[in-house]
Amino acid sequence: MARSEMVRAVVLTKPRTLEAREFPRPVIGADDALLRIEACGICGSDYEQYEGAQPQHEDYTPYPVIPGHEPLGIIEEIGRNAAARWGVREGDRVAVRSGYGCGQCEACRRWEPRACPKRGGTYGYTDVGKPPHLWGGYAERMYLSPYSVMKKMSPSLPAGVAVMFNPLAAGLSWAASIPGTGPRDRVVILGAGQRGLCCVISVVTRTSSPSRASSARTRPSTSRRTTW
């Protein structure tokens, strides 16, 4: 594959305005990588971003950006250090966390961007003018910062299922891990979107025995009322 090829992407230039553009394929060094996008989830914040209604946040550039912060893809090219650090190699399928580390803090200097107290930026919300430009999932390929966080994904999962990693992780975090949900807790879930449904899955599996969880997946619960 020619390393000088151009990469096609969609750029949000202003609210409700998307443009098809091409960017040079990034040159990959020892500590970064290039992801060939297989699928990218669409979040409620993507809609707000498109409409120009995204709340102001220091980690988010509203536009011009390549949107898409829930990318699933194949490692197409990776540096030697990055491969050893992330435990992945070319051809592996990975899910990428939306935020990447700042590269300046103590955690990032230890190559632990998950512990970075502030982000260096967010995929899908990074100014497209910042080299190497491919900072979002609405593109053929996406650049992976040395301070990225990712998880290897099974190639046996259909892309439409595997790309649900972000809302499922949100459901596990919001409805179970953070509040410490347990048996007999009463939970109210507002919204039946993908994250709301993933919260339901999380609560059922967290608070039920294996037999009850299996039963709950096959029939509606009549023991409690859940507000969506």
pLDDT in tens, 70-111: 999 999 999 999 999 999 999 999 999 999 999 999 999 999
The CATH number assigned to the domain holding 26 equals 3.90.180.10
Residue 133 in 3-state DSSP?
coil
> Same structural domain for residues 191 and 123?
no
Q: With beta carbons less than 8 A apart as the criterion, state whether 190 and 164 touch.
A: no
Q: Specify the DSSP class assigned to residue 115.
A: G
Q: Following DSSP, what letter does each residue of 150-180 receive, concatenated?
A: EEE--TTS-HHHHTTHHHHHHHHIIIIITTT
How far apart are alpha carbons 19 and 12 in whole angstroms? 6
> Same structural domain for residues 53 and 144?
yes
Residue 214 in 3-state DSSP?
helix
- Quote the percentage of the chain above a pLDDT of 90: 79
**Confidence class of residue 60 from pLDDT cuts 50, 70 and 90?**
confident
Kindly report, residue by residue over 17-36, the tens digit of the pLDDT.
999 999 999 999 999 999 99
Mean pLDDT across the chain, nearest whole number?
89
> Same structural domain for residues 55 and 29?
yes
> Same structural domain for residues 107 and 51?
yes
**Confidence class of residue 57 from pLDDT cuts 50, 70 and 90?**
confident
> Same structural domain for residues 76 and 182?
no
Residue-range definition of the domain harbouring residue 190: 164-218
Average pLDDT (9-15) is 97
On the 0-12 / 13-18 / 19+ scale of CB atoms within 10 A, 105 is middle
Average pLDDT (111-122) is 94
Q: With beta carbons less than 8 A apart as the criterion, state whether 17 and 48 touch.
A: no
> Same structural domain for residues 96 and 202?
no
Q: How many domains, the chain?
A: 2
pLDDT of residue 227: 28
56 pLDDT higher than 70: yes
Q: What is the pTM of this model?
A: 0.86
Give which of 126, 158, 142 is closest to 61, Cα–Cα: 126
The C-alpha torsion from 30 through 36 and 42 to 45, rounded to 10°, is: 30
How many C-beta atoms surround the C-beta of residue 28 within 10 A? 18
pLDDT of residue 3: 58
pLDDT of residue 1: 44
**What are the angstrom distances between the C-alpha of 223 and each of 181, 199, 200, 207, 216?**
17, 18, 14, 13, 11
Q: With beta carbons less than 8 A apart as the criterion, state whether 139 and 9 touch.
A: yes
